[in-house]
Structure 1
Amino acid sequence: MESWVRFSAQSQAKERVFRAAQYACTLLGYTLQRGGAGAELLSTIKQLEAHISLTRKLMRLGNSAEALEAAKRTIHLSDCVLRLCITVAHLNRAMYFACDNALWAGKTGLLPQLDQNKWSQRSFRYYLCALILNLTRDAYEIRQLMERESRNGSSKSFTSSPSSLASSPENGEFPLMPSPSPALFPVSMISARINQQLHLLLTVLRNNPPLLLDVLKNTCDIFIPLDRLGLYPTGPGFVGACGLTSSVLSILTIIHPWLKLKP
């Protein structure tokens, strides 16, 4: 199994390139259709997209083993939330790849009696569950980093506060400040709280490029199964743009491994 996992890792970059080409064809076909292109050209692009999709399924044969090995590694994580989210996400990916392999066998004629629509819907359900768990993991890590950043900011402001704030004027009295309107006080507090949280969020994402890329990639990917399952139809143009964007981000994490979120 280890040798197969190593082989799958070597072919991952090529699969990402084919994925980008597939969704580029989806986006191109939608654009040409909106532009009034001929039926023959649209049919050619659709056939090219189908061939690329079939090639990708062939390249993903056995990826279930890689996903199971990843689940075996993450089940020993000390953080219970990360352990649950990442391990169950890998298990869903394993089931997604297994359904995808069955679809490949059906499309190539090895399993002519296979209900391709049923297995396609099943595979996208597993894919959607994996993406939801990935986004949950991203949200958890963002929350942890925001709390850490908030604690660091509070400690810095406490240590750098001037001692003159504790001293009183010479006459022993403080100037009276106009009290805010009771109606505006909660609104201003809520607005300040929102601005603070947004500032913390931007700081965390700016200081953690792997986490930012993972959030963007998972957010783009989740619209694909939502559209294919009919839960949130967005159309081929939007799906093609999201798939192309997430594929490019995945290629970046392969070219620059430090951009890949760990564990």
Structure 2
Amino acid sequence: MDSWVRFNAQSQAKEKLFRAVQYACTLLGYTLQKGGAGGDLLTKIKQLEAHVSLVRKLMRLGNSAEALEAAKRAIHLSDCVLRLCITVSHLNRAMYFACDNVLWAGKTGVLPKLDQTKWSQRSFRYYLFALILNLTRDAYEVKLLMERESRSGGGKGAWPSPSAPPPEAGEELRSPAQRFPGPAPVSALTNRLQRELRLLTTVLRCNPPLLLDLVRNLCDLFIPLDRLDLYRTGPGFVGACGLTSSVLSLLTILYPWLKLKP
């Protein structure tokens, strides 16, 4: 099992490169169609996209084993939220890859009577569940880092300025709405939202792996949503999202320190 996982890891960069080519073809085909390109050119691009997709499915044979191994490692994490999100996400990825392998067998004629639409929908459902769990994990890590940043000094803006005049006698006993009639509560809410936004920006800027993982998962989310007819965005948007997430995945392979851990 370990030797297979090591061998499979060596082909991840190639698979991500083919994925980028596939979604680039999707985006290019949509752009040319909008530009009124000829039918022959569009047919060739769609054929290239289909061939690349089939090659990717071949390269993903056995990826379920790697996802199961990752789930076995994640189940020992000390943080219960991370343990749940990461473990269940890897299990969904394992099921997604298994359905994808069956779909490959149907497309190549090994299983000629396979209902490809049914298995495609099933695989995208597992993919969607995995992405939702990944985004939940990202949101949880952002929350933890924002709380840590706030405790270390990110919430200083909540304290009054030392140069501000002291409140009059009895004024501190009154509510903000009594002391500041009019739009003061709305202004306070706006200031709080601005502080939270600055804190979020600081956290993401100081944690490139988390930022890349969040953007990549958000881009990938639109792919199964479109394929499952839950939120139709069109081939152009799907192609752009898939190409962006593929490039970000290649970056994490080229520069391992950009990969979010654990």
**What is the TM-score with the length of structure 1 in the denominator?**
0.91
Q: Distance in 2 between matches of 1:61 and 1:155?
A: 49
Tell me the CA shift for residue 185 of structure 1.
1.7
Q: Equivalent residue for 2:149?
A: 149
Stretches of structure 1 lacking an aligned partner (at least 5 in a row): none
Per the alignment, do residues 84 and 109 of structure 1 end up closer, same or farther by CA in structure 2, a change over 3 Å counting? same
Q: Equivalent residue for 2:213?
A: 214
Q: Equivalent residue for 1:104?
A: 104
1:112-131 → structure 2 map (5 Å cutoff): 112-131=112-131
1:96-245 → structure 2 map (5 Å cutoff): 96-153=96-153, 181-245=180-244
Q: Equivalent residue for 1:254?
A: 253
Q: Distance in 2 between matches of 1:154 and 1:201?
A: 10
Report the aligned-residue RMSD: 2.1
Tell me the CA shift for residue 183 of structure 1.
2.6
Q: Distance in 1 between matches of 2:70 and 2:234?
A: 33
Q: Distance in 2 between matches of 1:143 and 1:188?
A: 24
1:68-83 → structure 2 map (5 Å cutoff): 68-83=68-83
Q: Distance in 1 between matches of 2:154 and 2:113?
A: 64
Q: Secondary structure at the match of 2:48?
A: helix
Tell me the CA shift for residue 156 of structure 1.
7.2
Query: How many matched pairs?
Result: 253
1:32-43 → structure 2 map (5 Å cutoff): 32-43=32-43
Q: Secondary structure at the match of 2:230?
A: coil
Q: Distance in 1 between matches of 2:17 and 2:86?
A: 25
Tell me the CA shift for residue 188 of structure 1.
1.0
Per the alignment, do residues 184 and 253 of structure 1 end up closer, same or farther by CA in structure 2, a change over 3 Å counting? same
Q: Distance in 2 between matches of 1:180 and 1:251?
A: 56
Q: Distance in 1 between matches of 2:186 and 2:157?
A: 24
Letter in 2 for 1:45: I
Q: In 1, are the aligned partners of 2:25 and 2:48 still within 8 Å (CA)?
A: yes
Q: Secondary structure at the match of 2:260?
A: coil
Q: Distance in 2 between matches of 1:134 and 1:66?
A: 17
Per the alignment, do residues 10 and 244 of structure 1 end up closer, same or farther by CA in structure 2, a change over 3 Å counting? same
Stretches of structure 2 lacking an aligned partner (at least 5 in a row): 172-177
* Residue 89 of structure 2 corresponds to residue 89 of structure 1: yes
Q: Distance in 2 between matches of 1:262 and 1:183?
A: 48
Q: Secondary structure at the match of 1:143?
A: helix
Letter in 1 for 2:221: I
Q: Distance in 2 between matches of 1:61 and 1:52?
A: 15
Letter in 2 for 1:225: P
Q: Distance in 1 between matches of 2:100 and 2:134?
A: 20
Q: Secondary structure at the match of 2:11?
A: helix
Tell me the CA shift for residue 149 of structure 1.
0.4
Letter in 2 for 1:4: W
Q: Distance in 1 between matches of 2:133 and 2:234?
A: 24
Letter in 1 for 2:99: C
Tell me the CA shift for residue 157 of structure 1.
8.0
Q: Distance in 2 between matches of 1:248 and 1:102?
A: 27
Q: In 1, are the aligned partners of 2:154 and 2:199 still within 8 Å (CA)?
A: no
Q: Distance in 2 between matches of 1:228 and 1:78?
A: 36
Sequence identity percentage: 77
Letter in 2 for 1:127: Y
